[in-house]
Amino acid sequence: MKEGDLHDPFFLPLTEFVAQSRDRRFLYIVGKMLKLDWLNNRTLEDVTTILSLLLPSFACQCVENNDLVCLQEILDMMDVDAEDYDGNTVMHRACEKGITYIVKHLLSIGASCHMVNCSGFTPLHLAIKNKHIDVIKILNKEGATVILKPVQVGIELIKAVWLKDCKLLHAWYLAGADMNQDDYNGQTALHAAVEKRDKHMVSKLLEYGASPEHKNIWGKTAADEARMKNLHEILLLFNPPYPLK
């Protein structure tokens, strides 16, 4: 659920979790939740089913609270890859928050880093979006991937250039993104950097393997664009340097 949405009454108690999970407020909230009318006259099977639906949300909240001790206790009672109502697993939440030691712990007990949530994001994608470099490096070793069409990756790279976000570009590079991936018009991040006259971003893209010879749908390369704009300093960055015509 997004902030501001009407809360599903079934999960209403979970919206109150704002404190450390092992403190007295946590116990009060749990007690209050267990006294709710929707648990009255339920069979043991019903209660077990309800608990299995709630535990992933409890576990994700433990990650939000950076509470590994409580998380371990809850994981003993559930599948480590169980999803909450948004399709997030504890691995999704740990990667989104960038909590390296929790990510390592989850991997050590067999958690998957390949699950896809309701928004189509894998844990790696969330780590990239939030620029958690250390988490990205860990997930790389596990063969984690981003479930995106190549053209969408190209669009994300171009966005990073337009935002002048070197750290985000670096995150995509570490995740194995092709720096020559283009958008629907054949434009690459390097085309965008030349258009923005961003010498620093051009330098970074070249360092990450971008080519100035990739043509867009109009047959223009990044080098062509630089020549047209008389960007001599940028042309000198290319290897070999490109002369002005």
The confidence score (pLDDT) of residue 27 equals 58
Domain borders along the chain are 9-141, 150-235
The confidence score (pLDDT) of residue 2 equals 45
Would you identify the CATH topology of the domain 9-141? 1.25.40
The confidence score (pLDDT) of residue 71 equals 92
- Multiple choice CATH, 150-235, 1.10.10.10, 3.40.50.300, 1.25.40.20, 3.50.50.60: 1.25.40.20
The 3-class secondary structure across the chain, one letter per residue, is CCCCCCCCHHHHHHHHCCCCCCCHHHHHHHHHHHCCHHHCCCCHHHHHHHHHHHHHHHHHHHHHCCCHHHHHHHHCCCCCCCCCCCCCCHHHHHHHHCCHHHHHHHHHCCCCCCCCCCCCCCHHHHHHHCCCHHHHHHHHHCCCCCCCCHHHHHHHHHHHHHCCCHHHHHHHHHCCCCCCCCCCCCCCHHHHHHHCCCHHHHHHHHHCCCCCCCCCCCCCCHHHHHHHCCCHHHHCCCCCCCCCC
Same topology between domain 9-141 and domain 150-235? yes
The confidence score (pLDDT) of residue 244 equals 57
**pTM here?**
0.80
The confidence score (pLDDT) of residue 193 equals 98
Positions in the chain short of pLDDT 70: 1-40, 46-48, 241-245
The confidence score (pLDDT) of residue 5 equals 47
